[in-house]
Structure 1
Amino acid sequence: MAYPAQIEALVQKGWLWQGQEVPAHKADQQFLSSGWAELDTRLGGGWLQGSVNELQVQQPFIGELALLLPLLAQPQTRVLWVNPPVQPYAPGLSYQNLVLHQHVVVHEPDDKLALWAAEQALQSNAIDTVLIWHTGLNATAVRRLQQAAEAQQKLAFVITSWQQQEEARAYVTRLQLERADSLSIRILKRRFGWPLPAFSCGVDSRLPRRRRAL
């Protein structure tokens, strides 16, 4: 059994993780705001630079892109879209202040080639953020993407359906999205903290009035 003095010694050495607290030697890691204050708070600052993040959606088009709009609309942000379920609607992107020539769309039915394109983009100076739609990446694929994202300090988001697998994945964050009256986010995994219960996120404020939840 560990005694209080021994536990304190482990804490002082940084060998004991304290759950909600960010370790001192990690405090200098760079976060990019998600644009949603409550989500930023729960993630410890926002999207961690150099990370691959999973968005599990209950069904497509429930607000997953609206969640990412504040990030995608940042000036000079260059984005690769890999296998979106429908062709992105250019007037809609312009309405959201996205600069169209900074967005590249790739449709590749071969999974290996699609992952290759995402990995190459993360390693390139021409792309800042990668969005990839996939039914469920295996642990090896996630690890390769995470290594590329971390090495170049890029961001990647994997949009997929709700996942049931128990095998660990190298995602920095894993969010589960569902919609009733509004978009609800459950944090399944995050850096420096435990999973968190669902909370409402007001992404509908970014949508045209005709598409907002009644």
Structure 2
Amino acid sequence: MVSTIAAQPIQELLAKGLVWQGQQQLEDSAQRYLSTGYPELDKTLGGGWLAGSVNELQLAQNYSGELALLLPLLREVTGTVWLNPPQEPYAPGWHHQQLDITQQYVIRTETERDALWALQQSLQAGCMPVVLAWFASLSATAVRLIQQCAQQHQVTVFVFTSEQSQTEARAYTNRLLLERSAKGFFVNVLKRRYGWPLPPFPCAVDRHLPKRRLAKATAQVVHGPW
């Protein structure tokens, strides 16, 4: 494996994300980061969610606390686009979680092609600083195009997918696997900027879940986003 990697041109390795360019962290220090609301996760990601980035959140189980992970960010930004959420968002739930319901926009599409088009249009409009999008998976080409558009318009994107078995490189800024066990909610860093992957570590999302939702999340039978 070592000899195979060594034989590849350095630019190819960089494109695949197999080389950590530590020196670039200083060059990117002027870029804006959005706090995740969790100090350990901020430190792990080099300061938080990079503004204008595309981040993949792989879900080992649906409704285990993935939206609670983003809740501190959603409370701080001026609005959010929700593209094809798996359940119909509940406006009183948004209000309970201190989100401005007048600045939450839900988009439904019938095909993945339409969803990609809607995502691109949302990024180009630049009206909402955050987009949440649910996809079964995205090709490397689609991720690269979305990343370029998100960076250009400074919109931060979170793509929710099921746990992925493929190992092909993707241009996501961060790739996180989110999972829940009897011990709590854990974040597994599969890819991050300027650092190696990390084993699962606990994240205190449960403080944002109402007691009834927490009980269902623990049982892995939650039927709605809040």
Q: Which residue does the alignment assign to 1:146?
A: 147
Quote the offset at 1:171 in angstroms.
0.3
Quote the offset at 1:25 in angstroms.
1.1
Quote the offset at 1:17 in angstroms.
5.1
Q: Which residue does the alignment assign to 2:72?
A: 70
Q: Which residue does the alignment assign to 1:187?
A: 189
User: Is the aligned partner of 1:118 residue 2:119?
Assistant: yes
Quote the offset at 1:205 in angstroms.
0.1
Quote the offset at 1:127 in angstroms.
1.6
**Residue identity in the other structure for 1:156:** V
Q: Which residue does the alignment assign to 1:104?
A: 105
User: Is the aligned partner of 1:160 residue 2:181?
Assistant: no
Quote the offset at 1:75 in angstroms.
4.7
Quote the offset at 1:27 in angstroms.
1.5
Cα RMSD over matched residues? 1.6
Match of 2:33 among 31, 34, 41: 31
Aligned residue-pair number:
197
- Looking at CA atoms only, which structure, 1 or 2, has the larger radius of gyration? 1
From the superposition, tell whether residues 207 and 118 of structure 1 become closer, same or farther in structure 2 (CA, over 3 Å): same
1:12-41 deviations in Å (ceiling 9; x for gaps)? xxxx9565x763211111110011111101
Asked whether the equivalents of residues 17 and 23 of structure 1 are also in contact (C-alpha less than 8 Å), the reply is: no
Whole-angstrom CA distance in 2 between matches of 1:54 and 1:85? 16
Q: Give 5+ residue unaligned stretches, structure 2.
A: 1-18, 219-226
Quote the offset at 1:96 in angstroms.
0.5
Quote the offset at 1:211 in angstroms.
2.2
Whole-angstrom CA distance in 1 between matches of 2:131 and 2:21? 32
Asked whether the equivalents of residues 57 and 161 of structure 1 are also in contact (C-alpha less than 8 Å), the reply is: yes
How high is the TM-score relative to the length of structure 1?
0.88
| Partner SS state of residue 68, structure 1 | helix
Match of 2:204 among 202, 207, 212: 202
Quote the offset at 1:209 in angstroms.
2.0
Q: Which residue does the alignment assign to 2:10?
A: none
1:126-137 superposed matches below 5 A: 126-137=127-138
Quote the offset at 1:155 in angstroms.
0.2
| Partner SS state of residue 56, structure 2 | strand
| Partner SS state of residue 97, structure 1 | coil
**Residue identity in the other structure for 2:131:** V
Q: Which residue does the alignment assign to 1:53?
A: 55
How high is the TM-score relative to the length of structure 2?
0.83
Runs of 4+ that moved beyond 4 A: 16-19
Q: Give 5+ residue unaligned stretches, structure 1.
A: 1-15
Whole-angstrom CA distance in 2 between matches of 1:184 and 1:22? 29
Whole-angstrom CA distance in 2 between matches of 1:27 and 1:132? 28
**Residue identity in the other structure for 1:91:** P
From the superposition, tell whether residues 32 and 75 of structure 1 become closer, same or farther in structure 2 (CA, over 3 Å): closer
Whole-angstrom CA distance in 2 between matches of 1:17 and 1:156? 23
| Partner SS state of residue 187, structure 1 | strand
Whole-angstrom CA distance in 2 between matches of 1:171 and 1:54? 6
From the superposition, tell whether residues 161 and 124 of structure 1 become closer, same or farther in structure 2 (CA, over 3 Å): same
